[in-house]
Structure 1
Amino acid sequence: MNANPTVILFFKPPTATFPGHRLQCLADQDQDEDRISALPDHILLDILERLDLHTAIQSSTLSRRWAHLPRSLSRLLIHVAHFLPRGRKKVMTAYTVAVRSLLLPSSPTNDRTIKHLELSFYLTESYLQSIGHAVANATESGKTNRLDLIIWTDVGHPEYEQWLLFGERLMSFFQSFPTAFKWLTRLTLRNITFGETDIHNLLSSCNKLELLSLTYCDAVINPITSEDAILTIDAPHSALLALEVITCGYARVDLIQVPNLRRLVCANWIGGNPPLVFGNVPQLDNVALRLSALHWQTPFTLSHCFANTTSLSAVYLNFYNQMIWIEPEGPKHLFPIFSNLREIYLYNIFYDCDLNWTMFVLEAAPSLNDFCLMLSRHPCGRGRSDEDGAKKVNVSWDQAPPDFKHHRLSLLHIIGFAVDEKLVKYIRLVMERAVGLRRICLLDQKPCDKCDAMDDAQSSLSRNRWRFPVEEEKEAIRQQLVDGFSSSVEISIG
């Protein structure tokens, strides 16, 4: 039985083994029949971890036996969203009361240790001191393994001056409780404008931080050049394992020294290409880039972007049904970077784009096992269509030498497959080059409400052109794919 229970908060009533009304029924029984209350604390706490916060707190009113239990939990996940719907001031009032109550020990002699604490809350100034003191009290034992904070700004669409204010407020919050936040392991922020040295100071003071996630964040604009700031991370002693930079206003991300970084997500950058510069990142093995390209963003080579990385094992690129913003290149430049690559995901390639260019990955990644493509074929025109969007153009690629063979690829996975001669030819090309291929998985495009709602003649023709094969056609497609090949490749359709 788990001796370190967790309270997890849910919007919907949980499907728990002992819901609140059953607890009350049990408590109303005669003492001789109340077997649940006779259980030891660690079992009762394990029961409480399966309940929502409201029910867990209600359990303390059942009897004196239950009164101390909610404040004896060693893992607490307290999210502000679960106090909605109310005005944000009322939400934060109720949230702060709950945090202080649940983090206080049940008695002065209680030696409780909170091993995992996760809080999400609004960056509302009048409540930060109370939250900070509660966190400091909860972590003062020095035995906290995980402290995760998700901090939202209390303005839906802030102006630039408000972003600056949020940055100052956040840094003041952290500086007020340095002892507490040295235990911080995960930090998720939104709508923050940082000062020039704020990120460096955060990483230096929070030396246990493993995840930093930034959404709609940026730094102060250079007053002389008026240029967007560069997010520079030079943290040779940092414990940072994962970095997420999503829809941020930085011109670029420079990772100078992040020796433990393993996972990187960069999405919707507004600067030029490439968006990243790597220095010393010897452990980096998982990179995801997602972009609906803007008209000033020109394609770049992956060898330029991923220079100095040699440990990549998984790469995810999402083009959002827009311009292909990478340039195919020969294996000479990519091989040192892709030599350890095991998985690659090329998602939301616009349907009219020729796919032969993707073969450059096979040429440069001799250890590749899984090759996954997702084609985007939306009659609704999903994707960026405004004047800022980059123009979709086909991608050309000089084919590899006829004798090129790939020996490690075992899975080809295509999402968005359709009855299309072009696709059949492409799959046969992969089969010809990947001599060790064992399985091909062909799936329909994921449902789209907008496409399903379109019923005009043009969309009907498009759907007919792009339709997924019906059951009677699947065997014929399999035969068409394997015709002339001696190897037995398992082909699943649907």
Structure 2
Amino acid sequence: MELNNENRLKAEEDMISRLIDDVLLYILGKVNLKTTMRASVLSTRWRHLPWLLTQLSMDISDFLHKPYDDLTVDVHIDKAMSSLTEAVRNMLVPTRRKITVTRLCIFLFLNNSYSREIGFLVNEVIANGMIKDIELTSGVERIPGDVSAKEMVKHASGVNSFLGSYPNISCCLTRLLLYNATFVESDLHNLIANICTELRYLYLYQCDTGFDSVFKIDAQNSKLNRLEFAHCSFARVELYCLPNLEQLICGCWLSECLPLALGGHVPCLKEVEIYSALSPFQEQFKLSELLCGTTCINTLSLDFLGYKIWLQPENYQLSSPFCNLMKLCLYDIFVGFGLLWTIALLQAAPSLEILEVEVYDHRCDEDKEMKQVCAERANAEWEVSGIGHKLLLLTQLEIIGFNASEEHMSFIGAVMERAPNLQASLDQLKKLGVKDLDAFEQRMVTIGHLPGHGDKY
């Protein structure tokens, strides 16, 4: 029986090996580099294939070995970087690499001694025309405040040194993700405006130019089209000029109020996403002040993470930045809050077609630590009586986490009254989570919220 099993496994292996190169390369493209190298060693049929891959992903986490598997410990990083360097050397060796790498993704630590050798190897291959596009990730996500100031300065220094020493890499770099780094302001601006000239996407996690500092970006030749901040301690980031920026994401800021100002030249900005739970010392802000001067935004996402609604009441001030808004997403609104205040946002958006609302309902699983660091839950302070009755172009409404509370019923009714294109069909109500449609209709009639029954909320 055991012999039969071995023969069956060998037969299956032979069947796979008989596949053409393109199919085998597709398979290798779905696994990590470590598995790819093992396959090339164990089978003569697969031996040449790793050097035919046109997209390579070289990730330090693939080379972690127990008990050295913690990327917050220097000695563990060192061992993994050693293995990663050897893999880069093997995969990019000129005598075997005959196919151009259209995209190279590398995840490493740029303040590690091995990064210099990796930089040299990649820089040389680019010079030979064998690499066209690079995505670079340096560092790893860690708990905010869990990284010393000295470590963050050291990491930023490593990033500057690496990108300054290997200009071929900088010129091919289209995506850059950095974690836990404190830069000199001029150095970070220089990376964006002058060194990484092909950069399209920049992600900064727990990065800054000094705690509570103001960082100004004025890069008229930048090709950056997506910019993302998370857990950064800037007092404010001022975007003076990013002519190609299309998407802006800001989450979990540490300053007293939202650390963004868009008063400059960002003519292509179409998508904005903001997410955070406020701490007791942080202030609410007016969305119109953040979006001042923008008129091209078509998608806006606001995520409150189940805690305090951090928007200050306003209405007509949003008319200009909301003039071309087509999709509005409001996520993680605490289940106990009413939703009628959101009508003010809808009334300010004459072109709005899609509204998504997600209700946060995890009261039984509340994180005690989060409750200690977050401001007390509080709904928006907007006066419902001041909300207008302008007809809406809305064609799609989705409530994730819908429940049949009076607050939710009133909200749906108020939206339906203002949106004649929003058909209260069976399918749409099912999408909202309404199971007993007869009971729903009777409830809506009772509280006066079927279309045409007037505004009684």
Equivalent residue in structure 2 for 1:307, among 277, 283, 292? 292
Equivalent residue in structure 2 for 1:316, among 278, 283, 301? 301
Do residues 359 (structure 1) and 343 (structure 2) align? yes
Do residues 102 (structure 1) and 91 (structure 2) align? yes
Note the C-alpha offset of 1:267: 0.6
- SS across alignment from 2:300: strand
Q: Which residue of 2 aligns with 1:350?
A: 334
Aligned equivalents of 1:418 and 1:394: distance in 2?
20
Alignment of 1:239-318 (within 5 A): 239-278=223-262, 279-318=264-303
- SS across alignment from 1:213: strand
Aligned equivalents of 2:198 and 2:83: distance in 1?
30
Alpha carbons of structure 1 residues 392 and 247: separation in structure 2 relative to 1, 3 Å: same
Equivalent residue in structure 2 for 1:334, among 305, 318, 336? 318
Amino acid at match of 1:194: F
- SS across alignment from 2:177: strand
Do residues 476 (structure 1) and 424 (structure 2) align? no
Note the C-alpha offset of 1:420: 1.1
- SS across alignment from 2:172: coil
CA contact (8 A) 1:300 1:327 kept: yes
**In percent, how many aligned pairs have the same letter?**
32
Q: Which residue of 2 aligns with 1:230?
A: 214
Note the C-alpha offset of 1:298: 2.1
Looking at secondary structure, tell me which structure has more helix per residue: 2
Give the TM-score normalised by the residue count of structure 1: 0.78
CA contact (8 A) 1:74 1:114 kept: yes
Note the C-alpha offset of 1:336: 1.4
Q: Which residue of 1 aligns with 2:25?
A: 45
- SS across alignment from 2:328: strand
Amino acid at match of 2:113: S
Note the C-alpha offset of 1:104: 1.7
CA contact (8 A) 1:413 1:441 kept: no
Alpha carbons of structure 1 residues 158 and 300: separation in structure 2 relative to 1, 3 Å: closer
Q: Which residue of 1 aligns with 2:73?
A: none
Note the C-alpha offset of 1:167: 1.1
Alpha carbons of structure 1 residues 340 and 272: separation in structure 2 relative to 1, 3 Å: same
Alpha carbons of structure 1 residues 46 and 391: separation in structure 2 relative to 1, 3 Å: closer
The worse-fitting range, judged by mean Cα deviation, of 269-278 and 244-253 is 269-278
Equivalent residue in structure 2 for 1:25, among 14, 37, 40? 14
Alpha carbons of structure 1 residues 401 and 382: separation in structure 2 relative to 1, 3 Å: closer
Q: Which residue of 2 aligns with 1:449?
A: none
Q: Which residue of 2 aligns with 1:83?
A: 63
Aligned equivalents of 1:321 and 1:139: distance in 2?
47
CA contact (8 A) 2:394 2:421 kept: yes
After superposition, the C-alpha distances for 1:97-132 in whole angstroms (9 at most, x for unaligned) are: 11111122344xx64311110011133522111110
Amino acid at match of 1:135: V
Give the TM-score normalised by the residue count of structure 2: 0.84
What is the root-mean-square deviation in Å for CA atoms of aligned residues? 2.9
CA contact (8 A) 1:182 1:207 kept: yes
Alignment of 1:48-59 (within 5 A): 48-59=28-39
Note the C-alpha offset of 1:381: 6.4
Amino acid at match of 2:364: C
Alpha carbons of structure 1 residues 362 and 105: separation in structure 2 relative to 1, 3 Å: same
Amino acid at match of 1:131: I
CA contact (8 A) 1:288 1:317 kept: yes
Could you tell me which runs of 5 or more consecutive residues in structure 1 were left unpaired when the two chains were aligned: 1-19, 28-33, 222-227, 445-467, 488-494
Alignment of 1:397-476 (within 5 A): 397-399=383-385, 403-406=389-392, 408-438=393-423, 440=428, 471=435, 473-476=436-439
Amino acid at match of 1:359: I
Amino acid at match of 1:328: P
Note the C-alpha offset of 1:358: 0.5
- SS across alignment from 1:161: helix
Alpha carbons of structure 1 residues 338 and 403: separation in structure 2 relative to 1, 3 Å: closer
Do residues 67 (structure 1) and 83 (structure 2) align? no
- SS across alignment from 1:175: helix
- SS across alignment from 1:259: coil
Alpha carbons of structure 1 residues 23 and 49: separation in structure 2 relative to 1, 3 Å: farther
Note the C-alpha offset of 1:21: 6.9
Alpha carbons of structure 1 residues 403 and 391: separation in structure 2 relative to 1, 3 Å: closer
Q: Which residue of 2 aligns with 1:216?
A: 206
Amino acid at match of 2:184: G
Aligned equivalents of 1:59 and 1:312: distance in 2?
48
Do residues 127 (structure 1) and 114 (structure 2) align? yes
CA contact (8 A) 1:115 1:145 kept: yes
After superposition, the C-alpha distances for 1:154-190 in whole angstroms (9 at most, x for unaligned) are: 9984311111111112211111111222100101111
Note the C-alpha offset of 1:58: 3.5
Aligned equivalents of 2:282 and 2:127: distance in 1?
49
Aligned equivalents of 1:257 and 1:106: distance in 2?
45
Q: Which residue of 1 aligns with 2:197?
A: 207
After superposition, the C-alpha distances for 1:25-82 in whole angstroms (9 at most, x for unaligned) are: 369xxxxxx854xx5x555534533444344323434666643321232110121222
Corresponding residue pairs, total: 424
Aligned equivalents of 2:127 and 2:439: distance in 1?
68
Alpha carbons of structure 1 residues 125 and 51: separation in structure 2 relative to 1, 3 Å: closer
CA contact (8 A) 2:343 2:387 kept: no
Could you tell me which runs of 5 or more consecutive residues in structure 2 were left unpaired when the two chains were aligned: 1-8, 69-75, 453-457
- SS across alignment from 2:101: coil
The worse-fitting range, judged by mean Cα deviation, of 189-198 and 431-440 is 431-440
Q: Which residue of 1 aligns with 2:455?
A: none
Equivalent residue in structure 1 for 2:123, among 133, 136, 152? 136
Note the C-alpha offset of 1:354: 2.8
